[in-house]
Structure 1
Amino acid sequence: MTDASTPYSRARRHALLAGLALATTGCAPLRTSGPLPQERVRATAPFPMPDISVPDFSASRRFPITDFGADQGDQQKTSAAIAQAIAAAHAAGSGVVVVPQGVWPTACIHLKSNVNLHVAKGATLLFSERPQDYLPAVMTSWEGLGCYNYSPLVYAFECSNVAITGEGTLKARLDVWRAWYARPKPHMDALVALYHMAAKGVPVAERRMATGEANLRPHFVQFNRCRNVLVEDVRIIDSPFWVLHPYLCRDVVIRRVQVRAHGHNNDGVDPEMSQNVLVENCVFDQGDDAISVKSGRDQDAWRINVPSRNIIMRNCRVKNGHQLMAIGSELSGGVENVLVENCHFDNAGSGARSTINNILFVKTNERRGGYVKNIHVSNVSATRIAGGVLSVETDVLYQWRDLVPTYERRLTPIEGLHVSNVTVGEAAFVCRIQGEAGMPVKDVSLRGVAVAKVLESPVKTENVQGFIHAA
């Protein structure tokens, strides 16, 4: 018989007591008798911005992973302990799963509703580099196309009231993912196959990408079809793919988070087909865009038909990256009501390349459709940028131009791009807009934009209607 004081016995007791409490009147642990309290976060914007509700775990019971057998020298035991602690917290109605000080090796972590994964100060969750540790495959996406692929390192599917908090670190080991950055031919062949399956409406359940040498790298953190999401105070280092990916989510707050990831496709935050999102007081040191707002790709997104809407980035510092704020190119569901304010790029990143391209970059192509409207950038400063304050390109296809055909041509209406009170030390240009002759970009304004040194022609516009550039 196992001694009742062992961690595994305590884990079983936690689960048993939680289950009994749920079934017994008057014996429920905290938060089973009513809904989890909510914090309502307000943000003002030049568009109607609803309050955002995120979970308040301050009175919830705590579930240390050490009570469930976590072992800093054993990934298998630690992974199992985290899963058991999450299950117990969920069964209790709500709970805080605590990762204490130390380095804890783990495979993928799957969150549940009403659970806060709290990585304490001095704690590091060190994620395995082995692809087999992220199987079985889960319903996810890859560059805007739905599929079954390797599990994100941290994954929440159809959850409500879910959080990652604490002053600790989530770090990805890159031993294998770094090799996958190269995107060899078998990988590109897999992406071509996925493109054709999506265009032809093959069910997502049949798009199995975690096979052979497809090598579709997983996201670091994906909240998939979730509501009331909070990510707070943690530091995230390195990533196989996109770092923070709210996908088909509603009510998301990401605050005081530090991200340093310089691998391929290492965007900081990618809100996709998500609504009511606030990213504030964060620091980004990226190998790709700091924030890239997306809304799905081509036929897949047209079928889902959910726009990204009401997204605010404020009080953030960007040390390195491709763009401070990108829109697209996966924007087929539409993007509207975006605000960037009080943000600064200071050219102080840890990567070899420490110059951002553009402050606001809108990119699309003839296959995307969707729309972009009501985008605002205000009170932003930068030291030196390789591109400009505003750039719009409507023919961005990268390698896809020759890899796959255009099944259906749909242009992207773009209107209402407003930039004000921006100061830059040096830039290649101030504004460059390449619109489509058949669908001009409309209603663009730049007010109070000052660039001390401009290396090329300051303003170039093509197929634009309603352009204002005022001091």
Structure 2
Amino acid sequence: MKKLLILLASFSLVSCYSQKVPVINTIKVAAPFEMPAIQVADFSKCSKFSITDFGAVKGDKKKNTTAIAKAIDKASKQDGGTVIIPPGEWITGSIHFKSNVNLHLQEGAVLLFSSDPQDYLPAVHTTWEGMECYNYSPLIYAHNCTNVAITGKGTLKAGMQTWEKWFARPSGHMNSLKLLYNQCAKNVPVEQRQMVNDSANLRPQFIQFNRCKNVLLEGISIKDSPFWVIHPYLCNDVVIRKVNVYAHGHNNDGVDPEMSQNVLIEDCIFDQGDDAIAIKSGRDQDAWRLNTPARNIVIRNCLVKNGHQLVAIGSEMSGGVENVFIDNCKVVDGAKLNHLLFLKTNERRGGYMKNIYMQNVESGKIDQGILGIETDVIYQWKNLVPMYERRLTPISDIHLTNVKATDVKFISRILGEKELPVQQVSLKNVSAVKVRENKHIHENLLQFTETK
């Protein structure tokens, strides 16, 4: 009897303890390629920690920043917990995640992030447009974390007073970018690429999950951003679901999965100043060093209200991009959009793009066209910095099915390299009510098929 009681007691302790650890949910995703199941954490049975129990006070940035950090630390130390942001507006500095933590914003909660750059120091290991460096911390930052989530019906909001002044990219900013570009090309250690100074003005991402596993964003709204809004970088197993993004500043892409694998983006709303979703895999020598493609990315059931592209791939894609599936998305009539799908690279990038699928997409008027593929998109960099090594980008197996728009300049514009033509592009039931110029504009393209 005594042994039985000890056994039952031991079982009870194990059972209670196991409820603190997040359960791992497995999500199976259908795709036209072999798509691994995605794993994310379920915190529903984990302990909850309100930031008010750690000293948070509305209107007090310092106390709130400290309270959130303490709550995250407590939740992580007990192997899993949910940090609660109650209703009301809470001003804060940067938030740094630890493993096994869910940041949960209750309905009516607003986390307002300071626009003072000093609140995002010391500098952290991050990136700028595909180049690794030390820069201001993203407003929400996770590095080498497992089982992390941001959930709830609340809002993340960026104070923009300083960041909007930095949109202009003055000369000091461009000089720092040139320095960073040259350091990357010469493989200068990342620790030496220090980009915080008086004139660099490299704006931080709003949310960056850097080298993380099992990442979930669900239900939240995000308003405004200094730079890219959601940036999963070198991550595995990412789900972004029912997220509502409104950000009309410079470089305000909605989601930038970069060198990340096994990603699901679904049921989201994007109202952007730049691309709704931009798939990336690093720039030039830095990406060749990291050698990690963006792979197995599914985007479905999303609505775009404004943006440059529904989905862009590149131009930072030197690690390669493959296995992308865009399904059942819609762009509202009246949205200002350049393309539904735009693949962009240049002769410095290398990498590759292949196995890209889009189906069941509807759009109103598009400024440019449904599909764009360009191999000479280099923006200001062409004359700003030297080309250290020339590498062309193989592009192949691009398939669009059941895609419709009301008014376009072209259905497809594909401008490949003469030395390395784009290969195997198929359009099936891809149409527009009105085509303002040419239906197809093609240079250096092999194996193009169009069927009804």
Fold agreement, TM-score > 0.5? yes
Q: Deviations 1:284-310 (Å, cap 9, x if unpaired)? A: 000000000000000000011000000
Instruction: Provide the secondary structure at the position in 1 that maps to 2:447.
Output: strand
Instruction: Provide the secondary structure at the position in 2 that maps to 1:468.
Output: strand
CA distance in 2 between partners of 1:93 and 1:302 (Å): 36
Moved over 3 A (4+): 24-35
Which residue is 1:6 aligned to?
A: none
CA drift at 1:43: 1.1
Q: Deviations 1:342-399 (Å, cap 9, x if unpaired)? A: 0000045xxxxx4110000000000000000000000000011111110000000100
Which residue is 1:455 aligned to?
A: 436
TM alignment of 1:389-468, pairs within 5 A: 389-468=370-449
Which residue is 1:168 aligned to?
A: 154
1:286 aligns with 2:267: no
TM alignment of 1:203-214, pairs within 5 A: 203-214=189-200
Which residue is 2:337 aligned to?
A: 356
Q: Deviations 1:256-311 (Å, cap 9, x if unpaired)? A: 00000000000000000000000000000000000000000000000110000000
CA drift at 1:32: 5.7
CA distance in 2 between partners of 1:272 and 1:26 (Å): 43
Which residue is 1:320 aligned to?
A: 306
Provide TM-score, normalisation by structure 2: 0.96
Which of 359, 384, 408 is 1:378 aligned to?
Answer: 359
Which of 62, 69, 75 is 2:61 aligned to?
Answer: 75
**Which amino acid is 2:75 matched to?**
A
Which residue is 1:4 aligned to?
A: none
1:51 aligns with 2:51: no
1:191 aligns with 2:177: yes
**Which amino acid is 2:28 matched to?**
R
Contact in 2 for aligned 1:30/1:93 (Cα 8 Å): no
Which of 249, 273, 282 is 2:259 aligned to?
Answer: 273
CA drift at 1:41: 1.1
Which residue is 1:7 aligned to?
A: none
CA distance in 1 between partners of 2:154 and 2:321 (Å): 33
CA distance in 2 between partners of 1:31 and 1:47 (Å): 39
TM alignment of 1:339-350, pairs within 5 A: 339-347=325-333
Contact in 2 for aligned 1:228/1:251 (Cα 8 Å): yes
**Which amino acid is 2:414 matched to?**
I
Which residue is 1:12 aligned to?
A: none
CA drift at 1:103: 0.1
Identical positions, percent: 58
Unaligned segments of structure 2, at least 5 residues: 1-9
Which residue is 1:303 aligned to?
A: 289
CA distance in 2 between partners of 1:26 and 1:82 (Å): 31
Which residue is 1:351 aligned to?
A: none
Contact in 1 for aligned 2:20/2:46 (Cα 8 Å): no
Contact in 1 for aligned 2:48/2:83 (Cα 8 Å): yes
Unaligned segments of structure 1, at least 5 residues: 1-23, 349-353
Which residue is 2:22 aligned to?
A: 36
CA distance in 1 between partners of 2:333 and 2:150 (Å): 29
Q: Give RMSD over aligned pairs.
A: 1.4
1:253 aligns with 2:239: yes
**Which amino acid is 1:89 matched to?**
A
1:264 aligns with 2:246: no
Contact in 2 for aligned 1:31/1:92 (Cα 8 Å): no
Contact in 1 for aligned 2:20/2:47 (Cα 8 Å): no
CA drift at 1:28: 8.1
CA spacing shift, 1:153–1:414, aligned 2, 3 Å: same
Instruction: Provide the secondary structure at the position in 2 that maps to 1:383.
Output: strand
CA drift at 1:449: 0.7
CA distance in 1 between partners of 2:17 and 2:353 (Å): 41
1:150 aligns with 2:97: no
Instruction: Provide the secondary structure at the position in 1 that maps to 2:387.
Output: coil
CA distance in 1 between partners of 2:19 and 2:43 (Å): 15
CA distance in 1 between partners of 2:17 and 2:83 (Å): 15
CA drift at 1:36: 2.8
**Which amino acid is 1:180 matched to?**
W
Instruction: Provide the secondary structure at the position in 1 that maps to 2:369.
Output: coil
CA distance in 2 between partners of 1:212 and 1:125 (Å): 28
Provide TM-score, normalisation by structure 1: 0.92
CA spacing shift, 1:315–1:204, aligned 2, 3 Å: same
Instruction: Provide the secondary structure at the position in 2 that maps to 1:389.
Output: strand
Which residue is 2:350 aligned to?
A: 369
CA distance in 2 between partners of 1:372 and 1:119 (Å): 37
CA drift at 1:73: 1.8
CA distance in 2 between partners of 1:240 and 1:30 (Å): 42
CA distance in 1 between partners of 2:59 and 2:211 (Å): 34
CA spacing shift, 1:31–1:147, aligned 2, 3 Å: farther
TM alignment of 1:103-122, pairs within 5 A: 103-122=89-108
1:92 aligns with 2:78: yes
